[in-house]
Amino acid sequence: MSRLNSFIARLTAQRDLLDHIADENMLPARGAILEIGLGNGRTYSHLRERFANRRIIAFDRAVAAHKSSIPAAENMVLGEIAVTAAGFTGQNAAMIHADIGAGYEEADALTLTWLPDLVVSLLAPGGIAASGLPLSHSQLEALPLPPGIAPGRYFLYRSFG
């Protein structure tokens, strides 16, 4: 499969998973959504459309987003994500979306040394994590994916911490 086909499949899985979370009202009643890795801001655009009443806070090293998808200053946190996001520990986020896989095994393995703990520390009990990388943690329960998303394309968890 070409990398173009793989990319289309991954973005489609991401979109379908976020729509599933919205359609099924899976989030706790309160709490912000954290976008871990803003990038071009396309997913941020989708989150704003599907979760219009939530505060959405984005984290990235620097702003590289299209001008139409740049969060307001109070919702954009710049710096090393592993450091800056840790400052939000205990604030009980309703959901975290993280799509920060680099496409290189070694870099992704390094990310996975800190991302699962961070996600658990940020989420409210019952909070939802959608991730492009698998998150292995004793306080995260893997949830079934909606139909049409191949296993391994995207990952869905609920925190019971």
Provide the binding-site residues for a second copy, judged by CB under 8 A: 2-5, 7-8, 11-12, 14-15, 40-43, 45-46, 48-50, 66-69, 103-104
**Nearest CB to a second copy, comparing residues 4 and 29:** 4
The encoded tokens of residue 5 equal 């086909």
**Nearest CB to a second copy, comparing residues 2 and 25:** 2
- d(CA 51, CA 25) in angstroms, rounded, equals 10
At its nearest, how many Å lie between a second copy and the CB of residue 17?
12
**Nearest CB to a second copy, comparing residues 118 and 156:** 156
Instruction: Label residue 160 left, alpha or beta by phi (over 0 means left) and psi (-120 to 50 means alpha).
Output: alpha
At its nearest, how many Å lie between a second copy and the CB of residue 90?
30
At its nearest, how many Å lie between a second copy and the CB of residue 109?
16
Residue 7 burial (CB count, 10 A) = 12
Cα angle 41-47-52, degrees, rounded to a multiple of 5? 125
At its nearest, how many Å lie between a second copy and the CB of residue 18?
8
- d(CA 58, CA 45) in angstroms, rounded, equals 11
